[in-house]
């Protein structure tokens, strides 16, 4: 019973004890200071996280851009080599038909080639630079250098050129001793990596 009486007297003393106003204000100020410090620390942590996230996103974008540039370069190199090999086979076929003076067969070749995706025009310029066969009939008989440039017509080997988003496959047709003409396949390749 003395324990209960001791507890009661302690509780009654505690309820009767009045703290001075400045102690209450000091405790309140301390509580507000702790709350403000915690809030400030949380804001700093959020700012650091946001800064790290932004840096990581920028690094990811930089690496992604570099990777896509490398992929485009590799893809274009492989595509150019495949087109060059196609051009070599086409040169032999066109050469054979030109030797036989069978330009109708060359026209049929070109009609099938122009049906390939993204292919815009196929033409054969003779040794004199005039268009002999073209999938665009408006170009027949005109000087081919007005369409593709004289330097392109003068190329000595099969080559793929890119100019203003247009890809030109330039295929010189050689006879035994002389140049018989030049085949030019014009296409506008789609960006295979678009949308990735």
Give the global pTM. 0.68
* Residue 85 belongs to some domain of the structure: yes
Q: Tokens 């930089």 identify what position?
A: 62
Whether 107 maps to a domain, the answer reads: yes
Q: Is residue 41 part of a domain?
A: no
Asked whether residue 196 is assigned to any structural domain, the reply reads no
Residue 44 within any structural domain of the chain: no
How many domains does the chain divide into? 1
136/183 Cα distance (integer angstroms): 14
Structure tokens that stand for 15 in this block: 């309820």
Identify whether 29 is part of a domain.
no
| Main-chain dihedrals φ then ψ at residue 156, nearest 5 degrees | -90, -20
23 domain residue, yes or no: no
Q: How far is CA 117 from the centre of its chain?
A: 20
Range of the domain at 59: 53-187
Residue 174: predicted pLDDT: 93
Q: Which helix (H) or strand (E) holds 26?
A: helix 21-99
Residue-level pLDDT at 24: 76
Burial of 49 per CB tally in 10 Å (0-12, 13-18, 19+): exposed
Q: How far is CA 127 from the centre of its chain?
A: 39
Between CA 183 and CA 119 the distance in angstroms is 14
Please report where in the chains the tokens 């030019």 appear, as a residue.
Answer: 184
- pLDDT tens per residue across all 196 residues of the chain: 556 666 667 767 666 666 677 777 888 889 999 999 999 999 999 999 999 999 999 999 999 999 989 998 898 899 899 999 999 999 999 999 999 999 999 999 999 999 999 999 999 999 999 999 999 999 999 999 999 888 989 899 999 998 888 899 999 999 888 999 999 999 987 776 666 6
pLDDT at 9: 74
Residue 20 maps to a domain: no
Looking up residue 119, the CATH number of its domain turns out to be 3.30.450.20
**Whole-number pLDDT of residue 191:** 72
**Residue that has been written with the tokens 């369409």 in this structure:** 147
Q: What is the pLDDT of residue 196?
A: 65
């Amino acid at each position: 019973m003395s324990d209960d009486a001791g507890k009661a007297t302690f509780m009654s003393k505690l309820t009767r004890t009045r703290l001075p106003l400045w102690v209450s204000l000091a405790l309140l100020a301390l509580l507000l200071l702790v709350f403000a410090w915690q809030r400030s620390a949380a804001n700093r942590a959020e700012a650091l996280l946001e800064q790290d996230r932004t840096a990581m996103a920028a690094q990811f974008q930089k690496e992604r851009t570099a990777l896509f540039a490398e992929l485009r370069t590799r893809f274009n190199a492989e595509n150019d080599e495949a087109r060059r090999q196609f051009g070599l086979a086409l040169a032999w076929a066109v050469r054979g038909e030109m030797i036989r003076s069978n330009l109708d067969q060359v026209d049929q070749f070109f009609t099938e080639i122009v049906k390939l995706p993204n292919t815009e025009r196929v033409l054969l310029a003779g040794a004199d630079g005039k268009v002999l066969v073209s999938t665009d009939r408006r170009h027949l008989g005109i000087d081919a250098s007005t369409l593709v440039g004289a330097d392109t017509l003068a190329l000595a080997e099969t080559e793929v050129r890119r100019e203003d988003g247009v890809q030109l496959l330039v295929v010189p047709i050689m006879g035994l001793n002389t140049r018989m003409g030049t085949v030019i396949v014009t296409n506008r390749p789609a960006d295979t990596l678009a949308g990735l």
